Chain A
Amino acid sequence: MSETQAFFRETAERVLADSVSERDAEAAESRKLPEALFAALEETGILSMMAPADVGGVDASLADTAAILQAAGAAAAPGPLLETLLGRSLLARSGAEAAAGPLTLVFWPEADGPLPGDRLWPQPPVLHDVPWGGLVERLLIIAPSARGVRIIASQPAAWTIEPGADAAGEPRDRLSAANLPVQVTEIADAGFDELCRTAAVMRAAQLVGALEWCFHRSAEYVMERKQFGRELGKFQAVQQMLAELADNALAAAAITDAAAASPSRALVASARSRIADAADAAITIAHQVHGAIGFSREYALNHRTRRLMAWRDDYGSVHHWRRGLAEEFVGLTRDAFWPAVADAGLSQPA
C-alpha cells in the first residue's frame, strides 16, 4: 500500500469508526440509508474523491479509492457507496450537473436508447436488482455510445419501484417505467468495458475488506473462546482452518491490489474470480470456527459474510469473469500461451 493509500485508508477508518455502527447495517435492512455515514463522507470529501479536481474532487486513482472501499467493506458499511463514488465522477466527467447525496447506477450494455439531447425515453428497460434504487435522488444508466459512454440520468421517483433485497438485506429494487424523463450526457474518452472493470474492482475492494475482517476476527475469536479447557486456537484442526483462511485472505488482497493498480481485463477478471473462491472459504471457515454464536443476527460476523454472499456476483458475475478470462487465451499455441498470459497478468508500474 502506498503512502497515499495508507492515508486514505486511515482517514476512511476514522470516519467509519465515528459514523457507522452495526445498527446501520440493521437499519439498512429496513430500507434506511445510513445518513450519518454519508454526511461524514461528504464532509471529508470522500464521496467526490474520484471526480476531477476542477469540479470539487481530487481525481483519486482507482487504487486510492479501493483503499477507502476496503475500509468500508471491513466495517460492513451499508449504502450505495461504490455507486455514489463512481457516479459522481462520471457525472462530473460528462459535464452534467453535480448531484448531492447518494445516488445509484446500473450498467446497460445496449447501443440503443436515448442520445445526448433527448429528454424522454419512451420505453426504458426493466431494471433488476438496482442497489438502493428507490431510495436515492438520482439513477444513472451507464450505456455505450458511438463515441464513448452515455450517462442516462433520471429520478427514481419517475420509475415504478418494487422493493427487493440482497443476501445482506440491503435494498435491491426492480424499476420499470414508460415515457421516462431523462438527461443524457456523454463521456468521449471513456470505454464501457473499462468502466465495468472500474466498478468490478471497486466491488472487489469491498469484498477484500469484508474478507479480511472475517479472517482477523476469527483469528482473535479462537484465542478468546475456550472449550475442553483450552483456547480453540490451540487445536490443530482449528489452526489448519485458520491457515487456509489466511491463505485466501492474502491471495484475494494481492490480486485485488494488482487489479486496482492496473485494471487490465486479465487482472480484473482474475481478481473477481479468485475473490469468489476466497469468499466461499471465508464464509465457511469463519462461521465454522465461530460455532453457534456466529450464526446469531446479533453477532457482527453475519454483516460481513452476508455481504460476501451479496457482492461476489456484482458488476459482472463470477461466471462472466472466468469465461472472459479463458476466452482471452484459448486457441493460442502451447508455446505462445505462457508469454501471453504472463504479460497480460503483469501490473504496470504506476
Chain B
Amino acid sequence: MTSASSLRLELPSLPAAAEDLRREVRAFVDEERATGRLPPPRRVGLGFCPDTTRRIAERGWIGLTWPKPYGGQARSALERYVVTEELLAAALPVGAHWVADRQSGPVILRFGNEEQKREYLPRIARGECFFCIGMSEPQAGSDLAALTSSAAKVAGGWRINGRKIWTTNAHRVHYIIALVRTSPGDGARHAGFSQLIVDLKAPGVSVSPIIGMHGDHDFNEVLFEDVFVPDEALIGAEGNGWNQVSAELAFERSGPERWLSSFRLICELVDVLGADAQPSSLEALGRLLSHLLTLRQLSMSVASMIQQGRPPNLEAAIVKDLGTKFEQEVVRVVRDITSAENLTADGRGERLKALLIHGQLWAPAFTIRGGANEILRGIIAKGIGLR
C-alpha cells in the first residue's frame, strides 16, 4: 500500500534517441499524408488498417521494447511512448496492432513460456498477428471477478465455455486472450482465474457484432461453446490470471490513448480559429491545452516508471481518470467554442462539424472502456490508504 505522502512522480527525461525517433515518426506521418493514405480524419477512434500496420511494422515500431530475439528492438519505454503519441496525435489507423503491441505482447513476454514468446511475438512485431482482449462478460463488467466463463482440464488441453463481450475488433483479429475460471478458487474472490490464448477461428468460437450508438462496428460478443485449446494456450501459471490481468491493465491505462482520443477536434478547431477569436474562446482553449500538456507530463513520467521496472498501478489509474475526463471535456469545449465563434454556420467548417458529431457520440464511452472511472478512483483510494 502506498501512503498519500509518497504520491509524487519524478520528472521524466527523454533520451536523445527518443527525439531522433520522434523525427523519424514525423517523417513517416508526412509521407503517409503526402501519398494520400492519411486524409484528415472525420471520425474519432482508432482506425483499423492492416496495410498501415504493416508499414509501421517495417519501421520496427511494433514491439519496440521487446528483446531482439522476439522481433523487438530492445528500446526503452520512453521511446515507445514517443512513437505512441506521435502516431495517435496524427490519427494513424493503428487499431489492428494496438492491443497486441500494448498489452497482449507484453503479457506473453512477461508471463508466457519460451515457446509462446517465439510463436507469437515475432509475428506481432511483423504486423501479421492481431489480438483482442477477453475480459468483460455480460454479468461481469466493472466487477470483473464475477466472470463465469470457464476452462475445464481435458486430456492435452482445456475445454472453454462462456461468453465475452465488448471485445473490440474480435471480428477482424486473429487471437483473443480470454480470462477464464480454471478452478473454483475456494472462496477467494480473485483466485482460480487463468489466461488462455484462443484462435478466433477455432471450432466452437462464434463472433457476433455489437453496433455502438455511433453506428460503428467496433465491439463484439464472443461465444465459446466447448472450444478446445491445447495445453500450450495457457499463459503463465494456472490460477495466476488475476495478477496477470492487473499488470496488463496498468499497461492499458497510462498511455496517450487515454487522453488523445478526441485530440483531432482541437486540431480542427485551431485550424479555423484565428487570433481574433473572442477572449473567452481563447481562454477556454488555453485551459484545454494546459490540461493536455499536464497529462502528457504525467504519461511520460509513468513511462519512466515502467522503464525503471516500478509498478505504476496507482499512477496509471490517476492518468486514466484524468485523461478520459479530459477527452470528454475536449468535446464539450470545442463544441462550445465552435458555437460561440459560429465556425460551422452556412456550410463552413464541414470537417470540424463531422468530427464534433462523431466525438459527441463516442464521448460517453471514454470514461467506461478499460475500467470505469469510479473503479479507477477505487484503485486510487486504495493506493492512498483509504481501503
Contacts and interface: CB of A to CB of B under 8 A. Distances in A.
Contacts of A261: 11
Nearest to A333: B271
A267 B33 CA distance: 30
Contact of A341 (B274, B292, B378, B387): B292
Contacts of B273: 330-331
Contact of A330 (B13, B275, B294, B295): B275
B294 A257 contact: no
A338 B90 contact: yes
A339 B40 CA distance: 16
B154 interface: no
Contacts of B237: none
B10 A326 contact: no
A272 B290 CA distance: 8
B315 interface: yes
Interface stretch (B55-63, B97-105, B118-126, B277-285): B277-285
A302 B238 CA distance: 54
B197 to A, nearest CB: 34
B7 A258 contact: no
B321 interface: yes
B294 A251 contact: yes
A240 B385 contact: no
A254 B301 contact: yes
A332 interface: yes
B374 interface: yes
B315 A250 contact: yes
Interface in B85-109: 85-86, 89-90
A239 B274 contact: no
B277 A349 contact: no
Interface string B349-387: 000000000000000000000000010111011011111
Interface residues of A, number: 61
A338 B386 contact: no
B330 interface: no
A337 interface: yes
A32 to B, nearest CB: 31
A277 B287 contact: yes
A198 to B, nearest CB: 18
A322 B282 contact: yes
A239 B387 contact: yes
Nearest to B263: A338
Contacts of A257: 9, 11
Contacts of B298: 250-251, 254
Given A246-B380, A254-B297, A325 B385 contact: no
A244, A250, A347 — most chain B CB neighbours (10 Å): A250
Interface in A311-346: 319, 321-327, 329-335, 337-339, 341-342, 345-346
A53 to B, nearest CB: 25
B26 interface: yes
Contact of A1 (B10, B293, B294, B296): B10
B384 A242 contact: yes
Contacts of A346: 14
A188 interface: no
A269 B376 CA distance: 29
A216 interface: yes
B340 interface: no
Contacts of B275: 327, 330-331
Contacts of A223: 385-386
B291 interface: yes
Contact of B381 (A242, A250, A319, A327): A242
A330 B315 CA distance: 32
B273, B293, B385 — most chain A CB neighbours (10 Å): B293
A31 B285 CA distance: 40
A240 B275 CA distance: 39
B33, B266, B273, B290 — most chain A CB neighbours (10 Å): B290
B268 interface: yes
Contacts of B10: 1
B294 A255 contact: yes
A254 B296 CA distance: 10
Contacts of B264: 334
Contact of B7 (A1, A249, A331): A249
Interface of A: 1, 215-216, 219-220, 222-223, 233-234, 236, 238-240, 242-244, 246-247, 249-251, 253-255, 257-258, 261, 266-267, 269-274, 277, 319, 321-327, 329-335, 337-339, 341-342, 345-347, 349-350
10 contacts: A216-B5, A251-B298, A257-B11, A270-B290, A322-B283, A322-B287, A323-B279, A324-B286, A330-B270, A330-B275
Given A220-B4, A243-B384, A273-B290, 18 more contacts: A216-B5, A219-B4, A239-B377, A253-B9, A254-B294, A255-B294, A255-B297, A266-B293, A267-B293, A269-B290, A270-B289, A274-B293, A319-B279, A322-B282, A322-B283, A322-B285, A335-B267, A337-B270
Closest 5 CB pairs of A and B: A322-B286, A273-B290, A243-B377, A239-B381, A243-B380
